[in-house]
Amino acid sequence: MNAKHIFAFGPPAATKGYTLKFLEPLLPKRFSRFVISDLIRREFEYDEEFKALALSLQAKRELLPCAAVDRLVRKYVPRDISEIIGVDGGPRTEEQVGLFDAYFRIQTTPVEMFLFDFGNAPDAFYDALFLHTQHAEDRKDRVDGDKLETHQKGVAIYRENRDPVLSAAQKHGWNVVQINPALTTAAKVLKIAQSAKLSIPIAQILRFSKQTETRPLPPSVLRFAA
């Protein structure tokens, strides 16, 4: 069986991370999940030079240089750790597609690469979902304006890079699949499983969905999805 590498691509608040998190227990011992933002936080904690760089870029609201992301992936993501690797948050630029492709393809077994794009909803949908999530987590009536502005900057950066990333992935032979972020988590996991030919029975996905009590998005968010 070929190894499969799954990359979740999309703007902030696109539910890509939660979808991969949901997928993880359905593929025990065969699936390893990595979140690029978690790798950044880990390096931020232990590397003062990286911390200074990250803070400087954060102040200017710029992306990490491709070389820095490449270093993080090479440092923390073993290539042969499992049959299936899921990466949330990358690649974010055309250059990163090439670096990720070169790194993850250096294996003794054939590799199938999948890029699942969660970005085909209007920007207003991601703003509404971000606000909904912030209210749920912070339990307050007003969301910090700086947080919303940072979120919207992230969406704008995604929009600038979306077409080049998708084109680069296709040129490298990746399977590019669109995911509707407004679907239920179970429906998104089913779409990924079917597209990547993962052996997960539909009944198992539905059963796990009930156990984890995943809820559909509220109408206040879904009205922006169309």
Residues 69-99: pLDDT tens digits? Answer: 888 888 887 766 567 778 887 788 888 898 8
Asked whether residue 153 is domain-assigned, the answer is no
Name which residue leads in pLDDT, 195 or 54.
195
- Tokens linked to 181: 């972020």
- List the CATH number of the domain containing 77: 3.40.50.300
Asked whether residue 126 is domain-assigned, the answer is no
Say whether 80 sits in a helix, a strand or coil.
Answer: coil
List, as own/partner pairs, every contact residues 165-169 make where C-beta atoms lie below 8 angstroms and the sequence separation is at least 24, other chains included: 165/9, 165/91, 165/92, 165/93, 165/94, 165/96, 165/97, 165/115, 166/115, 166/117, 167/94, 168/94, 168/97, 168/98, 169/91, 169/97, 169/113, 169/115
pLDDT given at position 159: 93
Taken as a whole, the chain contains a residue count of: 226
List, as own/partner pairs, every contact residues 213-221 make where C-beta atoms lie below 8 angstroms and the sequence separation is at least 24, other chains included: 214/22, 214/184, 214/185, 214/186, 216/184, 217/129, 217/132, 217/182, 218/132, 220/128, 220/132, 221/125, 221/128, 221/129, 221/132, 221/182
pLDDT given at position 163: 95
Asked whether residue 78 is domain-assigned, the answer is yes
Asked whether residue 134 is domain-assigned, the answer is no
pLDDT tens track for 166-184: 999 999 999 999 999 998 8
- Count of domains forming the chain: 1
Q: Which domain holds residue 47?
A: 3-120+162-217
Name which residue leads in pLDDT, 143 or 189.
189
pLDDT tens track for 99-155: 888 887 765 567 889 999 999 999 999 999 898 887 655 445 445 556 888 888 889
Q: Closest by alpha carbon to 11, among 96, 128, 99, 104?
A: 128
Asked whether residue 114 is domain-assigned, the answer is yes
Asked whether residue 91 is domain-assigned, the answer is yes
Distances (CA, A) of 186 to 85, 114, 123: 19, 19, 23
pLDDT given at position 141: 46
The pTM assigned to this predicted structure is: 0.84
